[in-house]
Amino acid sequence: MKKILVVGAGGQIGSELVPHFQKIYGVENVVAADINCNSCTHLAENGPFEELDALNKDRYIEIVKKHKIDAIFNLVALLSAKGEKNPQFAWQINIGALMNSLEIAREYKCAIFTPSSIGAFGTSSPLDNTPQDTVMRPNTIYGICKVTGELLGDYYFHRYGVDARSVRFPGIISNVTLPGGGTTDYAVEIYYGAIQQKKFVCPIPAGTYLDMMYMPDALNACVQLMEADPSKLKHRNSFNITAMSFEPEQIANAIRKRMPDFTMTYDVDPVKKAIADSWPNYMNDSCAREEWNWKPKWNLETMTDDMLKIIGEKHAKGLLK
């Protein structure tokens, strides 16, 4: 990867992936693009930025040509819970952006990364130690888009030689940009609740295990997979990757160990509950470990130390809304 375009750069992953890439590949070699720069002024001020509606293929091509892009990260997506509010719109955005990205990658010979998700699995998948290759019949429009994306990525690779690679991300926990509309968002919001109010109302029932990962591991995964020797990849779209699996009481206990006055109650959201119940409790990520040396560094304890420290500092400086 020499010239990278991150589309949907203002979201939870993009807002940290862009600066991460800039450190590795150089500021001038990483172009951030989003529908407008309201959500990403920090990106627009610190490197090349382009306004792009990913459904506008002509404008997308113009940017790829202008910056001589050779790798596209398509991060445009409506997440799982939000997708259920308007499934037709979710399909239009998620698949529209994906198809434009794949077609442009084909025409302009770019490598392409589009994240898949634990949401690609469904109730008929084995939910414990979920294998890399197994039944995938998701129950959400988000998951249907993710499975479609995985199949299209492999199709473009086999049919046209497009260097398409992807991972199935678990819930990602971070402290720069809040996620929005996801089922795993609670595991981010709980830290903000702890720092700002010393309490949190959890929308997911106790006992619901989900795979999770701290953002620094997610960023490393993107670089490691895209830089991996292609001859070692038996899979491409998409690799299971995970760093930890926990249920709400475990993350609350990790916070309580450091903040004994923190309290958590439940107000279960039935849509999020149904989605979470259909997703793996924990995935088997041995293929990623074998094929491109995937190995997470963070666990629930080290992540909790870091999240509370960083969000606590922001709170002390009055930087939280």
| Residues in contact with ligand AKB by the rule CB under 6 A | 79-80, 117-119, 142, 169, 171, 179, 182-184
Q: How far is CA 45 from CA 40, 41, 150, 167, 284, in A?
A: 9, 6, 34, 29, 40
Contact between 115 and 13 (Cβ < 8 Å)? yes
Closest approach, Cβ 21 to ligand AKB, in A, equals 21
Nearest to ligand AKB of 47, 296 (CB atom): 296
State the residue number with the nearest CB to ligand AKB.
182
Helix (H, G, I), strand (E, B) or coil at 51: strand
**Which amino acid, residue 211?**
D
Closest approach, Cβ 166 to ligand AKB, in A, equals 12
The contacts of residue 157 (CB under 8 Å, 6+ apart) are 163, 164, 236, 237
Nearest to ligand AKB of 80, 237 (CB atom): 80
Nearest to ligand AKB of 201, 259 (CB atom): 201
Q: How far is CA 193 from CA 170, 188, 202, 263, in A?
A: 21, 9, 10, 10
142 is catalytic: yes
Closest approach, Cβ 82 to ligand AKB, in A, equals 8
CA angle 146, 150, 153 (to 5 degrees): 130
User: Can you tell me the distance from the alpha carbon of 22 to that of 13, in angstroms, rounded to the nearest whole number?
Assistant: 14
Closest approach, Cβ 59 to ligand AKB, in A, equals 27
Nearest to ligand AKB of 192, 262 (CB atom): 192
- Which one is catalytic: 60, 142, 156, 282? 142
Please identify every residue annotated as catalytic: 142
